[in-house]
Amino acid sequence: MDYTPHISLVGFMGSGKSTVGKALARILQRPLFDTDSLIETRKGKSVVEIFTGEGEEKFREYERQLLLELLNAPQPAVIVCGGGTPCFVGVMDILNAHAVTFYLHTPVDILYARLKNEAAHRPLLQGKDDLRQFIEELLAHREPFYQKATYTIHTAGKTVGEIAGEITA
């Protein structure tokens, strides 16, 4: 029997995972699972509300549990991870064992330009005096996890269609 693995997208906030994920799901005719939206639907709260009410640690536990469930589903899907999902307790290794993973590599300048007005939806960005430096440091910390992805796609200067095209090539 043929085995078609899941496709999973990882990368920093603002790297375009959700948008590219939607395009991929449409092209490949697969279900799309976006961990942030699914957690919000299931918990009936926004990510910001979960961070402030229950704490980041709890949110990471929700992400991990959800991913394990999604990766075990038999129908191949497109799974979009939150920016921090693969950087906690062996999650990147679990992802690689059950999916073909793509790191959407995006330069700091582009991330900063996209994220500078986004703090309302992204709890980690709130109250940061020097947002650009924060992004740079967090990205440097996370890069080794992202780099474990099966493939790295450089997104700078490319359209969503071009990125999706590289992933499906």
The CA angle 25-14-135, to the nearest 5 degrees, is 150
- Are residues 155 and 18 in contact, defined by beta-carbon separation less than 8 angstroms? no
For ligand S3P, the closer CB: 13 or 169: 13
Question: 3-class SS at 40?
Answer: helix
| Spatial separation of the C-alpha atoms in residues 100 and 102, rounded to whole Å | 7
The residue from 16, 21, 83, 86 that contacts ligand S3P (CB under 6 A) is: 83
Q: How far is the CB of 123 from ligand S3P (least distance, A)?
A: 5
Query: Taking CB under 6 A as the rule, does residue 86 contact ligand S3P?
Result: no
Q: Tell me which stretch binds ligand S3P (CB under 6 A): 13-21, 22-30, 146-154, 161-169.
A: 13-21
Nearer to ligand S3P, 2 or 130 (CB): 130
Residue among 7, 13, 24, 163 that touches ligand S3P (CB under 6 A): 13
Stretch that binds ligand S3P, among 22-30, 79-87, 93-101, 156-164 (CB under 6 A): 79-87
Using CB under 6 A, pick the residue from 9, 21, 30, 36 that binds ligand S3P: 36
d(CA 66, CA 81) in angstroms, rounded, equals: 10
Measured between alpha carbons, how far is residue 77 from residues 9, 74, 118, 123, 157 in Å?
11, 9, 28, 27, 27
Binding span for ligand S3P by CB under 6 A among 2-10, 76-84, 91-99, 103-111: 76-84
**H-type alpha helices, 32-152:** 35-43, 47-54, 56-72, 91-98, 108-115, 131-146
Q: Name the site residues for ligand S3P (rule: CB under 6 A).
A: 13, 17-18, 36, 47, 82-84, 122-124
